[in-house]
Amino acid sequence: MELIGIWVAAMLTLCIYSFLYRDNPFYRFAEHLFVGISVGYGIVLTYHQGFKPFAWNPLQEAVTEQEWIGLVRLIPIGIGVLFFARLVPSQGWLIRYPIAILIGVGSGLAIPNVMRADIFEQVHGTLAPFAQIHAGELSRFQIFGVVLMLIGVISTLTYFFFSVEHRGVVGGVSKIGIVFLMIGFGSAFGNTVMGRVSLLIQRVDFLLHDWLHLI
Amino acid sequence: MIEKLMNIDRRIIFILVALAVIIPSLLEVNFPITVSQPTRSTYDYIEALPPGSTIMVGFNYGPSSLAELHPMAKAVIYHCFQKKIRVIGMTLLAEAATLGDNMLKDVAAEAGAVYGQDYAYLGFRPGATQVLLGMGTAIDSVFEADYAGTSLAEIPLMADITNYEQVDLVLDLASGSSTEWWITYTNTRYNQQIAAGVTGVIVSQMYPYLQTKQLVGLMPGLLGAAEYEKLIGMPAKGTEGMSIQSFAHLLVVGLVILGNIAFFIQRRQGE
């Protein structure tokens, strides 16, 4: 059984890599198979790990054990069912209610936490090392890093500040910001290359080791 | 000549990249690995935890990122089992549910860890934000049973674990935005310590969180796996992969330099 699995995986790997030559039926077969299996797997798992424990089981228990308080679950389930109102064109407007609740709750949960995690903490992280410089806790190299980071933050933010024309001092600072952005993009590109090559290495290892037994 | 170089058939580059990976794989070359500070910080944090501590591992990656994150998961979980640190696995992605289960079982079999005592796997629940916030109050309000359907009340490991207060570290192994969710909802709200092992594609986005100490450690892709394997003295797939990776990187660097030289020569000729 395991041998069949290895052969199927090897054939599908080759089907997918055949796209590098040109689009072809083998590639499309493997692609459609992947999409179909992913969706089927996702639906089954979401049913067993989401719908059953959170919706079906509590309702069933409420009815069979006559714990009527469990029927309160009908409220969120009913709101969720309204998502399907879109399937009936004349009742499509009902979908606005679950969307409104979803956006309202999502925003309420996200805004304060995102503000703290991504803005306040980051501003604090940029400025806090200056207190350490003042206290004489950092080496010269670390001080250089702290100053460089502040220059990077200010110049990059200036680049994205479009309310003032980028001329003179503002233009000069925003050009420094471009340099920092380019370094950032270069770092992201380098890491992406590493990630993509890792995927190829794993597939080559599978083909040479598990399938062909060459290594 | 320059014209030809600029219009080279991309399939030739694909063949070169394939050769740069296949030949070193067959030759089984090995390069030394230098450990970076972010990976060492993760290792040091786990190493400093006393036996009996608890780590929650989020397997938030699908099969497409398995190559980068599976070796890392294996190394860290093996380290935890060696140190008698308890591991609770879970995922926020449906497609990762089986991957996490298999990984924990494989490493546990290798390290002699026992299900229910040394580790447990909770599986997947939909609604990432609600899951992360819900576990802050009570883990069993989100996962009333483990992945196999056993009630959490029947799992000895979970007896003294109610919420994040009993979890010493969350390690998120991610190929998407899940690390940002953990930071936003778990670190910010519950002050939970978080480390991350992420794919190369998203690692650049994670460094600001490392600098602000919202992450206690960060492992970048296959390199992170190789570094961690070196730290625990157990070279495996990460170490092998990084040696091969160096050849592919040399080729890419060479092609980038060649492409730039050809571009500038062509531009000068145009002027």
pLDDT at A155: 97
pLDDT at A64: 87
Q: Which of residues 54-83 of B touch A (CB under 8 A)?
A: 64-68
Please tell me whether residue B173 adopts helix, strand or coil conformation.
Answer: strand
**Does residue A71 have a pLDDT over 90?**
no
**Does residue A57 have a pLDDT over 90?**
no
Interface check for A141 against chain B (CB to CB < 8 A): the answer is no
pLDDT at B55: 98
Judge: B221–A191 Cβ closer than 8 Å, yes or no.
Answer: yes
**Does residue A53 have a pLDDT over 90?**
no
Dist CA A157 CA A177 (whole Å):
7
Dist CA A200 CA B241 (whole Å):
10
Joined tokens for residue A97:
């209610």
Sheet holding B86-91, edge to edge: B119-124, B86-91, B54-60, B169-174, B194-198, B217-220
Closest CB to B212: pick one of A122, A184, A205: A122
pLDDT at A60: 87
- CB contact at 8 A, B24 and A201: no
- What percentage of residues in chain A have a pLDDT greater than 70? 100
Dist CA A75 CA A79 (whole Å):
6
Please state, rounded to an integer, the average pLDDT across all residues of chain A.
Answer: 93
- Averaged pLDDT in 10-residue chunks for chain B of 271 residues: 82 94 90 94 98 97 93 97 97 93 97 97 93 96 93 95 97 96 95 96 94 96 96 94 92 92 88 73
pLDDT per position as a tens digit, B107-163: 999 999 999 999 999 999 999 999 999 999 999 999 999 999 999 999 999 999 999
- Write out chain B residues lying below 8 Å of A203, CB-based: 67
Give the pLDDT mean for A162-185: 94
pLDDT at B266: 87
**Does residue A73 have a pLDDT over 90?**
no
As for the ipTM of the complex, it is 0.89
Q: Which amino acid is at A57?
A: N
Among B117, B61, B124, which residue's Cα sits nearest to residue B85?
B117
Interface check for B145 against chain A (CB to CB < 8 A): the answer is yes
Q: Where are the domains of chain A?
A: 1-66, 139-215
pLDDT at A33: 97
pLDDT at A171: 95
- Write out chain B residues lying below 8 Å of A53, CB-based: 125, 144-145
Dist CA B201 CA A187 (whole Å):
10
pLDDT per position as a tens digit, A145-160: 999 999 999 999 999 9
pLDDT at B31: 87
For residue B209, give the chain A residue with the closest CA: A122
Residues whose CB falls within 8 Å of the CB of residue A80, separated by 6 or more in sequence, listed in order = A98
